[in-house]
Amino acid sequence: MSRRFRDATLGLVLGLVLGSGAAAAASPEELARGELLFHIGGCTNCHTAKDGPLLAGGDPLVTPFGTFFAPNITPDPQTGIGGWSEADFLRAMRDGRSPRGEPYYPAFPYTSYAKMSEADLRALKAYLDTIPPVRRPNRPHELGFPYNIRWGLELWQWLFHDPAPFRPDPTKSEAWNRGAYLVLGPGHCAECHTPRTWYGALDQSRAFAGGRLGKEVIPNITRDPDKGIGRWTAGDLRGLLLIGIKPDGDFVGGDMAKVVRNGTAKLPDADREAIVEFLLSLPPR
């Protein structure tokens, strides 16, 4: 064995050891950031069943396309995502593909998560690695024709999935851009608040105009004064994101109650204000 080859091998091994060591030891700041993204991302809303173990798989998500069962995303190596590398995780979140390269259904909102920054995605992965692993096999989705044809997903992704990260608008304020990032990226608000076409893509001409999703009525959150929240003040929106109260003193229910409790209520004030600023700028539809 030549000396050069041996040195190269040693370097490679050292690099691997150091590399994996660096990935395992996330700083407390990175973990805190990952936790915040975990909350705003609402991971638990779909991936945790009612009274079930955290992130070990969710309750059925009933959609017009069929019923989805969000999988186990605890770090369990067999039934969860414990065996995933950081690259696997980035690929799932941005390209909507499993480590084996299979496309995911957009019920998993990678179409929004793809807009997250790489640093945020890494922080989120670091945080997810700290969740207690739970062994719980996944339940297959129950979908009707033609949505049960997996190759259809290849076509769907090719047509409708744009994996480009969020690009700030330099003509807008820093807070607006932060709000836009949180709403369009990790918060994935559009996934419910924007109606879908029959082929399951978001109808951007009706962005944030609400509609129906399964049994739930999804409100219009644009500035339309009658159909949307055009009459709401910044204070009204702040109250909703903080504790879930609506201007009439009633409280949001259903899945939005979870979004508030697990997500928007836990944000730092500055982030909540940023979301308010962005939402109040949505054109009426």
Partner 1 sequence: MGERLIGLGALLGALAIVGAASAQDVIKARQAEFKEFGKRMGAIKDTVIDKKGGTLADVAANAEYLAGKIPQIPSWFPEGSDKGETRALPEIWLNFADFEAKAKNAQGLAQALVVAAKSGDQGATAQAFGKLGQEGCGGCHQPYRRPQN
Q: Which residues bind partner 1 (CB under 8 A)?
A: 215-217, 235, 238-239, 242-245, 247-254, 257, 260-261, 265
d(CA 262, CA 74): 18
Minimum distance from residue 263 beta carbon to partner 1 (Å)? 13
Q: What is the nearest approach in angstroms of partner 1 to the Cβ of residue 107? A: 21
CA distance 181 to 160: 20
Rounded least distance, CB 225 to partner 1, Å: 17
CB-nearer residue toward partner 1: 123 or 221: 221
Backbone angles phi, psi at 126, to 5 degrees: -60, -40
In the complex, what is the shortest distance from the CB of residue 198 to partner 1, in angstroms, rounded to a whole number?
22
Closer by beta carbon to partner 1, 29 or else 250: 250
Whichever of 66 and 211 has its CB closer to partner 1, that residue is: 211
CA distances, 146 to each of 63, 93, 138 (Å): 14, 25, 22
Closer by beta carbon to partner 1, 30 or else 271: 271
The first and second tokens of residue 80, run together, are: 């969860």
Between 140 and 249, name the residue whose CB sits nearer to partner 1: 249
Residue 38: partners with Cβ closer than 8 Å, 6 or more residues away: 44, 124, 127, 128
185 touches 166 (CB < 8 A): yes
Residue 199 is given by DSSP the state: T
Give the CA count within 13 Å in the CB-facing half-sphere of 247. 10
Distance CA 53, CA 80 (A): 12
Q: Which is nearer to partner 1, 99 or 247 (CB)?
A: 247
CB 193 within 8 A of CB 210: yes
Least distance from partner 1 to the Cβ atom of residue 256, Å: 10
Q: Which is nearer to partner 1, 183 or 241 (CB)?
A: 241
The residues, any chain, with a CB within 8 Å of residue 208's CB and separated by 6 or more, are 189, 190, 193, 194, 220, 221, 222, 228, 282, 285
Contacts of 284 (CB under 8 A, 6+ apart): 222, 223, 224, 225, 227, 228, 230
Q: To the nearest whole angstrom, how small is the minimum distance from the Cβ of residue 238 to partner 1?
A: 7
What is d(CA 112, CA 182) in angstroms, rounded to the nearest whole number?
10
For the CB of residue 58, give the shortest distance to partner 1 in the complex, in Å.
Answer: 17
Q: Which is nearer to partner 1, 133 or 263 (CB)?
A: 263
109, 261, 247: which is closest to 191 by C-alpha? 109
- Min dist CB 36 to partner 1, Å, is 19
